[in-house]
Amino acid sequence: MKNKVKLLVVSGLLMLAICGIVLQAQTQTGNGNWGGIMSPMSGDIVLKAELPEAPATSPLYKVIDNGTVPYCKPDMMHVKKNLPSEKEATVIAKECLEKYGGIPKDAVLTGVETNYLYGMNTKTGEIVEEHPLGVDVKFEREINGMPVVGAGGEIDMSLGENGELLFLSK
């Protein structure tokens, strides 16, 4: 009986010693992983890489007044019958924007797209109807080749029947 107790005590002390070593390894790695004892990769890792040249300063622009021009017609989402082509819409959009302060010199045309209302067969997933809603034209601003994001960074507009302005956010 005494031998069994001695064996249990020795086994317990051995387990405590092993747990202490593992706990110390986890603490030393600082991340709770099995650190230096069980991991083949322990110690410092040094990356030898050249950093690219960076400018000493960088310009920061703050929009004081973005001159927002919101415009939206209530029938914007109604089906249209006579929309301009996407090529015509670009010309019409530029002419239309003259009434609202024109296009900033640093604005770039980034997209023209005709939007449709689709009818779908719910059993097959097939599109069975397509009705035009408007032609969207989008301009985005760049300063010194860098895109402007946030207020004043883009002009979105939608044109309807015969090029009528349906929506403008500038």
Which tens digits make up the pLDDT trace of 134-161? 999 999 988 887 888 777 788 999 999 9
**What single letter denotes the amino acid at residue 148?**
V
For residue 84, give both structure tokens.
């301009």
What is the per-residue pLDDT across 23-52, written as a single tens digit (0 to 9) for each? 454 444 454 444 444 455 566 777 788 888
149 and 100 part of one domain: yes
The span from the CA of 152 to the CA of 69, in Å, is 10
163 occurs within a structural domain: yes
- Which residue range forms the structural domain that includes residue 11? 2-38
Q: What is the CATH number of the domain that holds 130?
A: 3.10.450
- Count structural domains, the chain: 2
Are both 83 and 157 inside the same structural domain? yes
The tokens for 107 are 């604005």
- Residues 82, 137: one domain? yes
Has residue 58 been placed in a domain?
A: no
